[in-house]
């Protein structure tokens, strides 16, 4: 099987993210054939058509489907390689991302083909067109939404159904279906039986029901089919999940109806959220991705849809990101605010207030499950080989046990962003904000695990101290709304003490930069948050020096590593640098960096957490909400910089001795 691939036509500002990989028969299509779905092109970057070698199954080769409860990853060759249907952090039924034997569901031509794909406009419904010597066929994939889910209700009561609609476009195309579910992350091989026109797969606590309108052959834990699709014909497949016990079997509407309803639902959501700043298409798309990563029953946004996709191929930093980090919280709110999604921002703040509960003497929780669970104890799935042999594979994340004092600032900063929505302020929110400010007066003196969740020793990270300053600064701004006069005076005094400590112990004169920890000479890009939270102006001489040193020593082709031996560029850090440059008034440089970064998404506009600086390959869990949030935030900062420039009065014309300088005829 050979696959010839092309850039996604609906996003002319994109280029594939693996531009330097070794060439093979899977090459980019550059024949100028018509696009699958042109989409809108307003405010896009200049088109880039770059030949790239990509392999079906790579991280960046996957598209992303969502239903407000879970996510599906389907690759360019028509294989569903990831689905945890109960909820984002539940066990998988398809897990081939992490092991070939962990389950998949493939529908593709039975022979050589090339593939073009695009999301239907303003949706997370994916359409892939396969072209073969015999003809062409389209496969449209969607996770079902509830029939009445429109606008802000998208994702509520989703029925946990994956639909795949196969339509003949030309000729007669032989097709191959391979359905191979494996429950509990590939541990359990279910029984497959045919009953009442459905293929039932049941084992343990899960069951799947597959409706297929083509004859299938049942084998040992799998079903296969060969069928032919002719021009004008269509075939539908619907796969539903339900718990084995105490639940009705899943209802399975027709695939065509599921696709149409999902498209209508996502478009209704998009119609309520419009953004008119710079890079409008990128911001709108990234906002939809973030919405797709939202567990709609609670309003929580997961960091990523996957677990254990590696930061470095063959490495062991392969963590489970299907949870909700408080450190992402403030930027998520600001990004959704900038992307014209204030209702989602309101729900997210409500979620974190409920999840945190009453603050005691223990470290403030830094992450939760999607319904507010705190115990996320980590364990290894030793039976899985891991993505590209990268082991161990983790379920759970022991970072939940850590002290990360930056969360104090992130919550209070989020509350400040939402202050008008918190008026009148409820007693529980007031108590929460007061308690967090009090904790900042104490915890800023303590070492912690830091923003990057170091698992060796705690340190006095500069970014953690800065966020303690943020917590106290916002508490002082809230004033009597969350404390009495004595509280406000105490918070202000400690705030100033924190600031003085950061300015004196965070700056390294020899390095010429603020470094990662107090009295350290090691760079860390987390210090780029300093202008973003208002600790220092971006054009402060020391801050500008820090930006220059960080970019010179840690950046390559616009990709910024977090520290010297970080294996790959960290996407949001790169967008932070673009944001800092915009705040410093360097609009042109910021814009160039933004466009360089935005072009590194995959062909569907999706980012992982990191990108290899040498190969351009996306690494880490996917898609990564934090990366898309960084894009939205940076676009907003660039828009604000443009508006500030437009409002600035014109420079006076300099004059010399009796003549106008610079005048030329």
**pLDDT for res 421:** 80
- Angle made by CA atoms 67, 68, 72, in degrees to the nearest 5: 45
Contact 384, 99 (CB under 8 A): yes
Residue 356 clears pLDDT 70, i.e. is over it: yes
What HEC string does 184-251 produce? HHHCECCEEEEECCEEEEEECCEEEEEEECCCCEECCCCEEEEEEEECCCEEEEEEEEEECCCCCCCC
Give the CA count within 13 Å in the CB-facing half-sphere of 327.
23
Residue scoring higher pLDDT (214 or 420):
214
For 221, 371, 643, the CA distances from 157, given in Å and listed in that order, are: 30, 15, 41
Q: 655 burial class (0-12, 13-18, 19+ CB within 10 angstroms)? A: exposed
**pLDDT for res 50:** 26
pTM: 0.89
Contact 62, 622 (CB under 8 A): yes
For 67, 288, 336, 372, 575, the CA distances from 299, given in Å and listed in that order, are: 13, 14, 13, 10, 25
What percentage of the chain carries pLDDT values higher than 90? 77
The set of residues, in sequence order, having a beta carbon less than 8 Å from that of 261 and lying 6+ positions away, is: 144, 145, 147
Count the neighbouring beta carbons within 10 Å of the beta carbon of residue 544.
18
Measured in Å, how far apart are the chain's first and last C-alpha atoms?
67
Helices 571-583, 625-647: crossing angle, 10 deg rounding: 10
**pLDDT for res 348:** 67
Residue 359 clears pLDDT 80, i.e. is over it: yes
**pLDDT for res 10:** 30
- Angle made by CA atoms 658, 660, 664, in degrees to the nearest 5: 130
Structure tokens at 600: 């590194």
Alpha-carbon distance of 56 to 563, in angstroms, equals: 31
**SS3 of residue 136 by DSSP:** strand
Place 248 in a pLDDT band, splitting at 50, 70 and 90: confident
Alpha-carbon distance of 81 to 66, in angstroms, equals: 14
Contact 597, 557 (CB under 8 A): no
Bond from prior residue into 201 cis (ω within 30 degrees of 0)? no
**pLDDT for res 378:** 97
Residue scoring higher pLDDT (153 or 424):
153
Residue with tokens 């039976």: 383
Nearest Cα to 119, choosing from 273, 284, 16, 9? 9
For 16, 50, 223, 602, the CA distances from 619, given in Å and listed in that order, are: 14, 20, 32, 12
Place 508 in a pLDDT band, splitting at 50, 70 and 90: very high
Residue range 275-292: mean pLDDT, rounded: 94
Structure tokens at 207: 């069951």
Residue 31 clears pLDDT 80, i.e. is over it: no
Count the neighbouring beta carbons within 10 Å of the beta carbon of residue 479.
14
Bond from prior residue into 157 cis (ω within 30 degrees of 0)? no
Nearest Cα to 465, choosing from 511, 541, 520? 520
Q: Residues 612-635: pLDDT tens digits?
A: 999 999 999 999 999 999 999 999
Alpha-carbon distance of 249 to 267, in angstroms, equals: 29
CA dihedral 446, 447, 452, 456 (to 10 degrees): -150
| Residue 647 φ/ψ region, left for φ over 0, alpha for ψ in the -120 to 50 degree band, beta for the rest | alpha
**SS3 of residue 657 by DSSP:** coil
Alpha-carbon distance of 468 to 173, in angstroms, equals: 61
Strand residues in 499-551 grouped as ranges (E): 507-508, 513-514
Structure tokens at 329: 């919280």
Q: Alpha-carbon torsion 561, 563, 565, 567, what sign?
A: negative
Task: Give the bridge partners for 136, in sequence order.
Answer: 131, 170
Give the CA count within 13 Å in the CB-facing half-sphere of 168.
17
Structure tokens at 582: 């915009």
Alpha-carbon distance of 324 to 303, in angstroms, equals: 6
Residue 337 clears pLDDT 60, i.e. is over it: yes
**pLDDT for res 7:** 28
Structure tokens at 622: 């996917």
DSSP letters for 460-510: -BHHHHHHHHHHHHHHHHHGGGTS-HHHHHHHHHHHHHHHHHHHHHSEETT
**pLDDT for res 1:** 36
Q: Residues 99-120: pLDDT tens digits?
A: 999 999 999 999 999 999 999 9
Alpha-carbon distance of 181 to 210, in angstroms, equals: 11
Q: Residues 369-415: pLDDT tens digits?
A: 999 999 999 999 999 999 999 999 999 999 999 999 999 999 999 88
Place 318 in a pLDDT band, splitting at 50, 70 and 90: very high
**pLDDT for res 39:** 32
Count the neighbouring beta carbons within 10 Å of the beta carbon of residue 316.
14
**pLDDT for res 339:** 62
For 42, 289, 339, 580, 581, the CA distances from 276, given in Å and listed in that order, are: 11, 18, 9, 21, 21
Rounded to 5, what percent of the chain is helix, strand, coil? 30, 20, 45
Q: 360 burial class (0-12, 13-18, 19+ CB within 10 angstroms)? A: exposed
For 166, 275, 343, 402, 603, the CA distances from 340, given in Å and listed in that order, are: 35, 6, 9, 34, 25
**pLDDT for res 650:** 64
Give the CA count within 13 Å in the CB-facing half-sphere of 83.
31
Structure tokens at 505: 């112990």
**pLDDT for res 282:** 96
Residue with tokens 């790169």: 574
Contact 106, 388 (CB under 8 A): no
């Amino acid at each position: 099987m050979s696959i010839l691939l092309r850039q996604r036509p609906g996003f002319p500002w994109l280029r594939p993210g693996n531009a330097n990989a070794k060439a093979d028969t899977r090459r980019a299509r550059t024949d100028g054939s018509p696009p699958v779905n042109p989409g809108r092109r307003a405010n896009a970057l200049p088109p880039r058509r770059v030949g790239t070698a990509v392999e079906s199954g790579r991280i960046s080769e996957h598209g992303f489907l969502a239903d407000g409860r879970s996510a599906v990853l389907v690759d360019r060759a028509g294989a569903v390689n990831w689905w945890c249907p109960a909820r984002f952090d539940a066990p998988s039924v398809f897990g081939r991302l992490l092991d070939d034997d962990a389950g998949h569901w493939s529908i593709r031509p039975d022979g050589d083909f090339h593939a073009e794909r695009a999301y239907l406009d303003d949706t997370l419904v994916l359409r892939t067109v396969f072209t073969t010597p015999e003809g062409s066929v389209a496969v449209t994939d969607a996770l079902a939404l509830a029939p009445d889910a429109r606008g802000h209700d998208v994702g509520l009561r989703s029925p946990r159904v994956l639909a795949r609609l196969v339509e003949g476009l030309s000729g007669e195309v032989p097709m191959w279906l391979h359905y191979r579910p494996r429950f509990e992350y590939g541990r359990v091989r279910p029984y497959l039986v045919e009953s009442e026109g459905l293929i039932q797969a049941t084992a343990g606590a899960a069951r799947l029901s597959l409706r297929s309108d083509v004859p299938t052959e049942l084998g040992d834990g799998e079903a296969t089919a060969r069928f032919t699709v002719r021009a004008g014909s269509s075939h539908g497949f619907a796969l539903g999940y339900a718990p084995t016990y105490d639940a009705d079997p899943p209802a399975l509407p027709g695939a065509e109806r599921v696709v149409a309803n999902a498209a209508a639902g996502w478009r209704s959501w998009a119609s309520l959220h419009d953004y008119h700043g710079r890079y409008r298409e990128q911001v709108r798309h990234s906002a939809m991705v973030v919405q797709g990563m939202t567990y709609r029953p609670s309003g929580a946004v997961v960091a990523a849809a996957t677990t254990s996709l590696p930061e470095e191929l063959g490495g062991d930093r392969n963590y489970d990101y299907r949870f909700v980090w408080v450190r992402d919280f403030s930027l998520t709110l600001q990004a959704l605010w900038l992307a014209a999604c204030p209702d989602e921002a309101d729900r997210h703040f409500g979620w974190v207030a409920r999840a945190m509960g009453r603050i005691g003497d223990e470290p403030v929780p830094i992450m939760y499950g999607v319904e507010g669970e705190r115990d996320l104890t980590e364990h290894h799935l030793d039976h899985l080989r891991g993505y590209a042999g990268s082991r161990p594979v983790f379920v759970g994340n022991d970072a939940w046990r850590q002290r990360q004092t930056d969360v104090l600032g992130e919550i209070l900063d989020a509350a400040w962003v939402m202050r008008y929505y918190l008026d009148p302020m409820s007693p529980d929110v007031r108590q929460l904000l007061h308690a967090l400010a009090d904790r900042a007066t104490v915890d800023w003196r303590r070492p912690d695990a830091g923003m990057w969740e170091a698992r060796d020793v705690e340190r006095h990270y500069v970014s953690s101290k800065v966020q303690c300053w943020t917590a106290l600064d916002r508490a002082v701004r809230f004033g009597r709304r969350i404390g009495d006069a004595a509280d406000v005076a105490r918070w202000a005094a400690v705030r100033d003490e924190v600031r003085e400590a950061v300015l004196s112990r965070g700056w390294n004169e020899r390095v010429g930069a603020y470094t990662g920890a107090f009295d350290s000479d090691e760079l860390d890009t987390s210090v780029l948050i300093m202008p973003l939270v208002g600790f220092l102006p971006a054009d402060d001489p020391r801050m500008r020096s820090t930006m220059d040193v960080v970019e010179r020593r840690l950046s390559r082709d616009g990709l910024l590593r977090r520290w010297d031996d970080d294996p790959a560029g960290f996407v949001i850090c790169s967008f932070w640098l673009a944001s800092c440059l915009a705040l410093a008034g360097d609009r042109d440089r910021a814009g160039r960096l933004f466009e360089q970064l935005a072009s590194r998404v995959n062909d569907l506009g999706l980012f992982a957490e990191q990108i290899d600086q040498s190969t351009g390959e996306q690494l880490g869990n996917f898609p990564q909400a934090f990366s898309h949030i960084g894009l939205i935030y940076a676009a907003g900062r660039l828009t604000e910089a443009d508006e500030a420039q437009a409002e600035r009065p014109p420079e006076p014309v300099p004059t010399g001795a009796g003549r106008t300088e610079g005048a030329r005829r």
